[in-house]
Amino acid sequence: MTAVKSEVDNTQVRLPYERLLMVLAPVIAVGTVAAGAVLVAGLMGFHREEMFAIAAGIGAALGIPTVVLIYRQLADRRYTARALRNAEARVGGIVESAMDAIITVDESQRIVQFNAAAEKAFRWPRGAVLGQPLDMLIPQRFRGSHAQQVRRFGETSTTSRSMGAQTILHGLRADGVEFPIEASISQHTESGSKLFTVILRDVTERVRSEEMLARSEARLRGILDSAMDAIITVDERQHIVLFNKAAEEVFGCAREEAVGAPLNWFIPERFRAGHNDLVRRFGESGAASRRMGHARVVTGLRRNGEEFPIEASISTVAESGQHFYTVILRDVTQRVRADEALRRSREEIRELALAASTAREQEKSRVARELHDELGQALTALKIDLGWLREHVSAGDGAIREKLASMQVLVDGTVASTRRISADLRPLVLDDLGLVAGADWLAQSFTNRTGVPCELVIGQGDLELPDPHATTIFRVLQESLTNIAKHSNATQVEVVLERENGEVVLSVHDNGRGFAPDAPTRAGAMGLLGLRERAALMSGQVAIDSTPGRGTRVELRLPAPPARETA
């Protein structure tokens, strides 16, 4: 029973004695006063009739108000009793309809009250538990300690407190199943004996969701810690709230030390202001995530003061009105180093290839010149000598004349072959007269060979480029014209050589059958590949624009060489 109810009981117990006293007191008072008056009258020698009259007068004077008073008193009492009964009913109703289980036990820990919520929580009907020991609602292993706790609480003067502040308490249901509860206990004394009231709640759901949360947090922790990338979350003040294992390794800092520390710890001093600005602006941008420092590599700072390149992305979430920023980052020292090594090695290969190509061209040029000069001159001398012999041999010697004539034909053929081989190796016109003359020579020999007109347009400005530019352009034009002759079936070719915005541009356009430049090419087709390689060696590029049936355009762009000294 509750404290309120016990008060009601106490009043009811006191009422009969009081009422008796109330009823009797005025009568006793009236009697006493009347007896006193009669005694005084007797002592003063009044007669009996007068005495009676006086006594009756006094009795009436006192008796009537007394009766009125008694009546009012009784009416008050009845009202109070009714109010108390109502209060009792109200409290009973509250207890009964409470969402929490309410159980009252007496000093011997027997159950004296068990509300509807308690019935529901423990699955016991009220009738089965009233008068029974509380132990039936407590799992076996907690019974001893629980009884002791209640006893100890009874010895204190505290009226109420929550139970099991540190641990979750357990209840035992009728079906033997245990369930976690949260409880508070209060005590009061009723008719001299102590009663304990426990208000408790089944927290199975809460405990389950807490466990689930803990499990999912553990899972998340596991994922975060197994991530290869460092993951750091900071709050609005840019103080670290999450720091995973990879972050520990990358920054050389234990999680315990890092959590709570400002993010600035891990940013080199000179970047701090910029970084804080960046995060603030990112927060204001409303974007959910983005990569940091696309253009450049961001720099991190290890605990030991070492700086290192990182690649990072940032994302943000708002949690109960607070913004959190998560940075996922990777130490890219190795990659930056590898990139650098790769870049250097490419550069070396390029230089080597350029040197090789130059050496080859020089070699070709030397052989071409020797063929032309040495061999060509010797053959010419031979030809002159043969002519002389033919003039000086006697007319009658037909066999010798015939022999000389065939030798002449052979020497002429050899001279022509030597010229052709020499020109194929490297036309002397390129070295002797320059690029424009070389290009003109290529166009002419193309038309001579194929019968297809080839228009050469030379643009404004200086196009007499030095080597290796001249050779590159010459070779690209040579290969393009060869391809047109071999593959295109064109009837018209246009070659344009010009300067454009600091670049030298060669474009070779035919109106032939065209092809699909993206289609896989014949294995061993090195021509177009060679063009690209040559251009790349000179930091230039080749664009091939071709549509089947609509002709082909090969365009070479080279950064213009530094201006030649004009001597």
Q: Which does 180 bind (CB under 5 to 8 A by kind): ligand ADP, Mg ion, none?
A: none
Instruction: Write the CA distances from 340 to 111, 297, 336, 353, 509, integer angstroms.
Output: 82, 13, 6, 20, 39
Q: Which does 484 bind (CB under 5 to 8 A by kind): ligand ADP, Mg ion, none?
A: ligand ADP
From candidates 170, 255, 303, 513, binder to ligand ADP by CB under 6 A: 513
The size of the interface with ligand ADP (CB under 6 A), counted in residues, is: 16
Residue 529 contacts Mg ion per CB under 5 A: no
Q: Contacts with ligand ADP in 526-555 (CB under 6 A)?
A: 527-528, 552
From candidates 2, 244, 418, 483, binder to Mg ion by CB under 5 A: 483
From candidates 484, 506, 537, 542, binder to ligand ADP by CB under 6 A: 484
CB of 533 to Mg ion, least distance (A): 13
Class of residue 530 by CB neighbours under 10 A (exposed 0-12, middle 13-18, buried 19+): middle
Any residues with CB less than 8 A from the CB of 224 and at least 6 apart, and which? 231, 242, 244, 245
Q: What phi and psi values does residue 12 have, to the nearest 5 degrees?
A: -65, -35
The smaller minimum CB distance to ligand ADP, of residues 282 and 446, is found at 446
The smaller minimum CB distance to ligand ADP, of residues 328 and 554, is found at 554
How far is 112 from 194, CA to CA, in rounded Å? 12
Tell me the residue nearest to ligand ADP as measured from the CB: 527
The smaller minimum CB distance to ligand ADP, of residues 270 and 522, is found at 522
- Is the Cβ–Cβ distance between 402 and 389 less than 8 Å? no
How far is 11 from 15, CA to CA, in rounded Å? 6
Residue 468 contacts ligand ADP per CB under 6 A: no
From candidates 28, 89, 273, 525, binder to ligand ADP by CB under 6 A: 525
Residue 480 contacts Mg ion per CB under 5 A: no
Q: Contacts with Mg ion in 507-526 (CB under 5 A)?
A: none
Which residue from 223, 222, 242, 224 is spatially nearest to 232, judged by alpha carbons?
A: 242
Q: Which window, 207-215, 352-360, 395-403, 513-521, contacts ligand ADP (CB under 6 A)?
A: 513-521
Residue 527 contacts Mg ion per CB under 5 A: yes
Dihedral class, residue 433 (left if φ above 0, else alpha if ψ from -120 to 50, else beta)? alpha
Coil, strand, or helix at residue 538? Answer: coil
CB of 356 to ligand ADP, least distance (A): 20
From candidates 521, 532, 536, 545, binder to ligand ADP by CB under 6 A: 521
How far is 67 from 131, CA to CA, in rounded Å? 47
Chain position carrying tokens 């009795």:
59
From candidates 515, 534, 535, 542, binder to ligand ADP by CB under 6 A: 515
CB of 459 to ligand ADP, least distance (A): 22
Residue 510 contacts ligand ADP per CB under 6 A: yes
The size of the interface with Mg ion (CB under 5 A), counted in residues, is: 2
Which residue from 83, 59, 72, 62 is spatially nearest to 22, judged by alpha carbons?
A: 72
Give the chain's length: 567
From candidates 483, 507, 557, 560, binder to ligand ADP by CB under 6 A: 483
How far is 499 from 561, CA to CA, in rounded Å? 11
CB of 525 to Mg ion, least distance (A): 7
For 200-266, the three-class secondary structure string (H helix, E strand, C coil) is: EEECHHHHHHHHHHHHHHHHHHHHHHHCCCEEEEECCCCEEEEECHHHHHHHCCCHHHHCCCEHHHH
Residues in contact with ligand ADP by CB under 6 A are 483-484, 486-488, 510, 512-515, 521-522, 525, 527-528, 552
Residues in contact with Mg ion by CB under 5 A are 483, 527
